[in-house]
Amino acid sequence: MFHKEGHKIILISLFIVVGAIFALDAFITIEWLRKALMLVVLVFFVLILQFFRNPKRHTHANDKHALSPVDGKVVVIEEVFEKEVFKDKRIQVSVFMSPINVHVTRYPINGKVTFSKYHPGKYLVAWHPKASEENERTTVVVENESFGKVLYRQIAGALAKRIVNYAKTDDIAKQGADSGFIKFGSRVDLFLPLDAEIKVALNQKVRGGESIIAKMK
Contacts of 139 (CB under 8 A, 6+ apart): 84, 85, 115, 116, 117, 119, 151, 152, 153
Q: Is residue 96 part of a domain?
A: yes
**Tens of pLDDT, residues 74-94:** 999 999 999 999 999 999 999
In a domain, 86, yes or no: yes
Tally of domains within the chain: 2
Co-location of 154 and 101 in the same domain: yes
**Cβ-based burial of 22 (10 A; exposed 0-12, middle 13-18, buried ≥19):** exposed
Q: Are residues 73 and 47 in the same domain?
A: no
> Measured between alpha carbons, how far is residue 15 from residues 1, 5, 22, 24 in Å?
20, 17, 11, 14
Backbone angles phi, psi at 103, to 5 degrees: -110, 20
Instruction: Check whether residue 91 and residue 119 sit in a common domain.
Output: yes
- Burial (0-12, 13-18, 19+ Cβ within 10 Å), 91: buried
Query: Which is nearest to 72 in space by CA: 41, 42, 104, 114?
Result: 104
* Residue 72 counted as domain residue: yes
Residue 155 lies in a domain: yes
| Confidence at 131, pLDDT banded by 50, 70, 90 | low
Q: Give the pLDDT band (50/70/90) at residue 48.
A: confident
Residues 176, 107, 13, 29: is their CA dihedral positive or negative? Answer: negative
Active site residues: 186
Same domain, 42 and 90: no
Is residue 59, in this structure, part of any structural domain at all?
no
pTM, whole model, 2 decimals? 0.82
Asked if residue 58 is part of any domain, the answer here is no
Q: Looking at the domain assignment, is residue 174 inside a domain?
A: yes
Q: Among candidates 94, 97, 74, 72, which has minimal Cα distance to 160?
A: 97
Whether residues 33 and 115 share a domain: the answer is no
Helix (H, G, I), strand (E, B) or coil at 44: helix
Q: Do both 95 and 163 map to the same domain?
A: yes
As a whole number, the mean pLDDT across the chain is: 88
Q: Which distant-in-sequence residues (6+ apart) come within 8 Å of 109 by Cβ?
A: 63, 65, 66, 67, 142, 144, 146, 147, 150, 173, 175
Model confidence band, residue 128 (pLDDT cutoffs 50, 70, 90): low
pLDDT at 55: 79
pLDDT in tens, 182-211: 876 688 999 999 999 999 999 999 999 999
Q: Which domain holds residue 127?
A: 65-216
* Whether residue 42 is found in the same domain as residue 104: no
Nearest residue to 194 (alpha-carbon basis) of 62, 86, 36: 86
- Looking at the structure, do residues 13 and 81 belong to the same domain, yes or no? no
> Does residue 56 sit within a domain?
no
CATH of the domain at 143: 2.70.70
